[in-house]
Structure 1
């Protein structure tokens, strides 16, 4: 791949981001944290105006969008506190040790530094939380990397308005000029991703587009990391004991999760494995009327894709309807959907795998009825490569781990943990807590890098790289590695003399 000349407009954006990178990386963590809080405050202050635009462009409800603004603001503040704490720097200090077990050890100190300019391709289904100022953008800015956001075509006016809020807040907080930019258009995003001054990419969207972008990032003369969240069907397993104890509760929770935001969530439960002949399908059918209100899908393209995917599933041999649902199109071409739930036997699911296993982006889910004695743990690798989440609903006694099927359930949990980023118990995957320990990622195709997360404080590490300093005079050390520790960050110190004790006492 050869470097391609950018248009004058894009050249000015990338050049400004590259010029700002050294100054932004050198900002004090506390100053950067205060700037991020200023952005959070400005976002909340503009909430009413931004939500009005978002409702018009996306069809999402005011309640959903208002809550998403709050989530986005909290996420920004979480990264501000992460900066102040400093644990993300992973500061390690190995003082010089003349008595080191392998010969004299020099003074070695390791920390993390910002990568440089990053491009973030924003998402359609979270116009705040995974868009211009969403989790990827928050972690990029917190890391000290200039940010170029490629706006999503589904909400361009909202993207411009949100970007203006961010630019004004960052400038007022004294951040270097050029640390934040917004661009429009897929071709523009691809051109920027190819530019050698860009040091990483982030994306939330389809597997096809994500794979294209990931391949571009990998095939550059100097490859760069690319963090894509691409696709997930989030399997759920419900035991007979759980259904016997709380079928109605599970049915309502399931339909709430499937119908929320018209099913346009990457964490929607796409498949639910239930014992054949259980009462859960009837319980779902009985409460379905509570979830019958139609909801506009994000845009006509997504609506048409959902209509096609839904038709293919309904036409697959052995599929029967539990909740019929539907989709209609208005005069503007917008699609309005109600939830569809179908069931299929495990045997027919296996036979129709090609037609059934792909994600349906919209309010649709499939119940898979499993015969008694089915090895549930074996179903994960049989049907799925990787997912964001896997869920297990247990009976009260099963939760103790002391029932007759405890070994089977442990095997299922182990299988889930190998193929998902988050394992849930007795809950629903569409609630993603914004909290330090959260993991929102998973093996391919859930994400393009299964060791990363786009939610939680670990997300910042995607946009940093480690650097070690050997025998560096104190005056030339990053503050996080100095003995006086002016940033008061956590430091891991390996004292001189301890190497000869490594592993002692652990032998036979």
Structure 2
């Protein structure tokens, strides 16, 4: 019996329309096999580049319809979604540039050297090839940039991998519209439409990660769901890489000097950051270590005022709302925890933002407060007041891996290369994949130097899901030894007919 997939308006809780039906095991198998059949057609780099650019154009052409559907399904608002669509198109074109440039292939050629010591060297030529079909699990909180047309899909296509995407149930209509745009783009450049396929249903996601033709998977979501899929990927007869983004506290440390210089500015900035997008950013600052004392009090006063001015907001679905309300209540009920601005019910289908406070000595010394070290998805943050460097260090020792870690420093300490600030950054570097100074982590620029990842449970690997190097997840290296020129891929032939950057006999050669 077919199970319908409904589009639901989180502002009202009412069903909008039936969008699709959940995929059966047979349909998952057919989808993966169809995607695998398109793999040879993606071998041409120039075709992949054209596909990515065509996909960006197709999304933009359908932009009004996509944005309207996304707003109706997520309540994220037209301005936010308009920016997200622009970001999504930008990253597709950015990966097209990566493909055109060719440096991601990491071509290395070592010509034969019979006289090499201590062992004669054969002719060796190395580059990277696509893994195969990639399973993508769409995110709830970014219906465009981290979903059907998002970074996982863009980077996989750039690598030469067809994708089968498990749509998120919070925005099925948006997913179908985006899939249609991507599939039309594929056909427009001469590729099979099944280069991109979208499926719906929880069980479809489970079946997808276990399919023998799926070569890798990318996931953005909860620790519980991501860990279950990660374990399933590892338990296969032939395990596959699983690149999961699972959860992050994104700690912020405010030094005494920073609080003394600009307590009010930091408090106001924190309120804007943890309530941005109704607190549904994976980079939301969820734990803030601020000094005790008068300057810390000033920060807390500013935070209280700014957070209190933020109105109620709608979360992505009713389940997330229920979890947020339960999580906020459980944190507020812990001993010694204060709630200057209580987070809670904001009326039907909405929540109110807020924050809780706790002395650092309590968090550092008792397992009873472990809940405060778990991400609470939604507009809530935890402010921990430390009275000494030892208390600060003890809390940092308890933190899990994170996507980001932020230090707010005073002007003088930021200028010392071997002072306390440098030691603090070293501590934070061990905890996170992106370290910020005097800023806020919400907002992840799409740039070549970006890293969006971190130690577990932030992610299940050391890779990034944002920026040009995200392509590396879907590639594997292969070396050809003593292979005749005519049988080599163009990227590895003498004369560099493919025109890509290469390192030849230890010397870097730019694109020809």
- TM-score > 0.5, shorter chain as reference: yes
2:356 is aligned with 1:342: yes
Q: Tell me the equivalent position of 2:33.
A: 15
Q: Tell me the equivalent position of 1:494.
A: 505
How far apart are the structure 2 equivalents of 1:105 and 1:375?
56
**14-23 or 295-304, which moves further after superposition?**
14-23
How far apart are the structure 1 equivalents of 2:344 and 2:229?
34
Render the CA deviation track for 1:444-466: whole Å, top value 9, x for unaligned. 100011x2110011110100000
Change (3 A) 1:163 1:232: same
Q: Tell me the equivalent position of 1:396.
A: 411
Render the CA deviation track for 1:376-416: whole Å, top value 9, x for unaligned. 34532x322200000000111111016xxx53322221111
Q: Tell me the equivalent position of 2:8.
A: none
Give the one of 489, 492, 495 matched to 1:478. Answer: 489
Give the one of 273, 283, 288 matched to 2:307. Answer: 288
2:321 is aligned with 1:306: no
Give the one of 109, 116, 126 matched to 2:142. Answer: 126
Unaligned runs of 5+ in 2: 1-22, 508-512
Give the one of 242, 247, 250 matched to 1:226. Answer: 242
Q: Is the Cα contact below 8 Å between 2:346 and 2:352 reproduced in 1?
A: no
How far apart are the structure 2 equivalents of 1:62 and 1:337?
20
Q: Tell me the equivalent position of 2:371.
A: 355
Aligned residues: 480
Unaligned runs of 5+ in 1: 497-508
Q: Tell me the equivalent position of 2:424.
A: 412
Change (3 A) 1:372 1:419: closer
Q: In the TM superposition, what is the alpha-carbon distance from 1:375 to its structure 2 partner?
A: 5.6
How far apart are the structure 1 equivalents of 2:189 and 2:319?
40
Q: Tell me the equivalent position of 2:433.
A: 421
How far apart are the structure 2 equivalents of 1:378 and 1:347?
8
Q: Is the Cα contact below 8 Å between 1:317 and 1:348 reproduced in 2?
A: no
Q: In the TM superposition, what is the alpha-carbon distance from 1:329 to its structure 2 partner?
A: 4.6
Change (3 A) 1:368 1:106: same
Q: Is the Cα contact below 8 Å between 2:312 and 2:346 reproduced in 1?
A: no
Q: Tell me the equivalent position of 2:12.
A: none
How far apart are the structure 2 equivalents of 1:409 and 1:297?
37
2:184 is aligned with 1:168: yes
Q: Tell me the equivalent position of 1:503.
A: none
Render the CA deviation track for 1:126-185: whole Å, top value 9, x for unaligned. 000100000011001111001000000000111111101110111111123421100001
Q: Is the Cα contact below 8 Å between 1:376 and 1:412 reproduced in 2?
A: no
SS in 2 for 1:466: strand
SS in 2 for 1:316: coil
Q: Is the Cα contact below 8 Å between 2:138 and 2:167 reproduced in 1?
A: yes
Q: Tell me the equivalent position of 1:460.
A: 471
Q: Tell me the equivalent position of 2:457.
A: 445
Q: In the TM superposition, what is the alpha-carbon distance from 1:11 to its structure 2 partner?
A: 2.4
SS in 1 for 2:194: coil
Change (3 A) 1:103 1:197: same
Q: In the TM superposition, what is the alpha-carbon distance from 1:349 to its structure 2 partner?
A: 2.0
Q: Tell me the equivalent position of 1:435.
A: 447
SS in 2 for 1:318: coil
Q: Is the Cα contact below 8 Å between 1:32 and 1:175 reproduced in 2?
A: no
How far apart are the structure 1 equivalents of 2:70 and 2:433?
30
How far apart are the structure 2 equivalents of 1:163 and 1:37?
15
TM superposition score normalised by structure 1: 0.92
Q: Tell me the equivalent position of 2:402.
A: 387
Q: Tell me the equivalent position of 2:6.
A: none
2:115 is aligned with 1:95: no
SS in 1 for 2:125: strand
Q: Is the Cα contact below 8 Å between 1:316 and 1:355 reproduced in 2?
A: no
Q: In the TM superposition, what is the alpha-carbon distance from 1:96 to its structure 2 partner?
A: 0.7
2:53 is aligned with 1:37: yes
Q: Tell me the equivalent position of 2:14.
A: none
SS in 1 for 2:39: helix
How far apart are the structure 2 equivalents of 1:383 and 1:215?
25
